[in-house]
């Protein structure tokens, strides 16, 4: 198996309106995955049928069904679906893992360019391109959250992923795994290359409420939450984004929502946050240890 062999996991529920576009964009890649696992996460529409049809056309696609308990969210149930997909990978010696949402469209060299980044920087453990939303017929760049990285569009070096011990079962898992990678000596970078842009076809709702809940789940210090809310007051949407971050965090705290139980991570995260608050860096750049060889990514917002 090639040293650039990779697998892709896509967890989908009721994505029949968009999955066909995602399948077409992956099929058009200049470098295709050794295997692509599409997990139908209990859909009530034609999502599974679309995935099965794609698997019949492309032998490197595998469509599977999962019957989850309860409603799907972007936290614990999403990571459970991704983990379920990983358990069905049939390629034993792949080197990279990609997660891709079922409503994403990527350019034809997305996989190839990210693999080039991994090859150029051996310490790179987690990587992604920038995310854009398709809104009202226009492609609009999303305002980055912490690490400027979202789970809809990211990749891991397999060695790094294994060291993480799995994905955190809650809101904001994509930020937690990026910071855990940094804690363990890896780099986690979002690259601004035009070829690495991903377009999110389905408008996202309640995204900033989720960000506030994610900060609570990760155990962020309240001062960092306040700084994040102030940073996002300028929007988009103006004022609403910052307010919803505070509302999401406060709602989770008042409800006694669970938090990520990793004291070592929480301690590292708060030191990382305090260092940036002390420098007045809002947003801050990535904490990197690559020196002059550091690839230049976009600012990582709080």
Give me 143's structure tokens: 């305002």
**For position 67, which CATH number holds?**
3.90.550.10
Q: Are residues 196 and 212 in the same domain?
A: no
Q: Are residues 175 and 262 in the same domain?
A: no
Summarised one tens digit per residue, pLDDT across range 184-240 is 999 999 999 999 999 989 866 557 888 899 999 999 989 999 988 888 787 666 688
How far is residue 52's CA from residue 127's CA, in Å, rounded to a whole number? 29
Q: Which domain holds residue 103?
A: 6-200
Q: Are residues 196 and 226 in the same domain?
A: no
- Let me know if residue 298 belongs to a domain: no
Identify the three-state secondary structure at position 237: coil
How far is residue 165's CA from residue 251's CA, in Å, rounded to a whole number? 29
Q: Are the C-beta atoms of 10 and 101 separated by less than 8 Å?
A: yes
Burial (CB count <10 Å: 0-12, 13-18, 19+), residue 5: middle
Contact residues for 161 (Cβ-Cβ < 8 A; gap 6+): 97, 125
Summarised one tens digit per residue, pLDDT across range 91-143 is 999 999 999 999 999 999 999 999 999 999 999 999 999 988 877 777 877 76
Q: How many CB atoms lie within 10 A of CB 136?
A: 7
Predicted TM-score of the model (pTM): 0.86
Q: Identify the CA nearest to 173 among candidates 196, 191, 147.
A: 147
DSSP state of 262: -
* Tally of domains in the chain: 2
How far is residue 59's CA from residue 91's CA, in Å, rounded to a whole number? 13
Q: How many CB atoms lie within 10 A of CB 195?
A: 16
- Let me know if residue 290 belongs to a domain: no
Query: Percentage of the chain with pLDDT > 70?
Result: 85
Q: Are residues 53 and 175 in the same domain?
A: yes
Give me 100's structure tokens: 């891709």
- Let me know if residue 296 belongs to a domain: no
Vertex 102: Cα angle to 17 and 113 (nearest 5)? 130
- Let me know if residue 1 belongs to a domain: no
What pLDDT score does 276 carry?
Answer: 79
């Amino acid at each position: 198996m090639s040293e650039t062999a990779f697998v892709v996991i896509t967890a989908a529920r009721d994505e029949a309106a968009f999955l066909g576009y995602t399948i077409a964009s992956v099929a058009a890649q200049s470098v295709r995955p050794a295997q692509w696992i599409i997990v139908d996460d209990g859909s009530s529409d034609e999502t599974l049928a679309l995935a099965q049809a794609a698997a019949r056309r492309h032998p490197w696609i595998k469509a599977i069904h999962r019957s989850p308990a309860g409603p799907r969210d972007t936290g614990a149930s999403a990571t459970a679906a991704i983990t379920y997909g990983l358990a069905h990978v049939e390629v034993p010696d792949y080197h990279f893992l990609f997660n891709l949402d079922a409503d994403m469209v990527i350019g034809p060299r997305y996989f190839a360019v990210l693999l080039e980044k991994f090859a150029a920087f051996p310490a790179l453990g987690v990587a992604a391109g920038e995310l854009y939303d398709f809104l009202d017929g226009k492609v609009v760049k999303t305002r980055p959250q912490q690490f400027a990285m979202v789970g809809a569009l990211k990749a891991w070096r397999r060695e790094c992923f294994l060291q993480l011990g799995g994905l955190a079962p809650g809101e904001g898992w994509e930020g937690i795994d990026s910071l855990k990678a940094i804690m363990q000596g890896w780099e986690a970078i979002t690259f601004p290359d035009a070829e690495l842009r991903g377009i999110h076809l389905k408008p996202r709702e309640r995204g900033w409420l989720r960000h506030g809940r994610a900060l609570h789940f990760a155990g962020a210090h309240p001062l960092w939450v306040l700084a994040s809310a102030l940073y996002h007051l300028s929007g988009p949407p103006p004022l609403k984004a910052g307010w919803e971050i505070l509302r999401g965090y406060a709602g989770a705290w008042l409800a006694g929502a669970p938090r990520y139980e990793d004291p070592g991570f929480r301690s590292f995260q708060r030191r990382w946050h305090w260092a940036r608050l002390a420098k007045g860096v809002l947003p801050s750049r990535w904490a990197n240890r690559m020196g002059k060889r550091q690839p230049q990514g976009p600012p990582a917002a709080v």
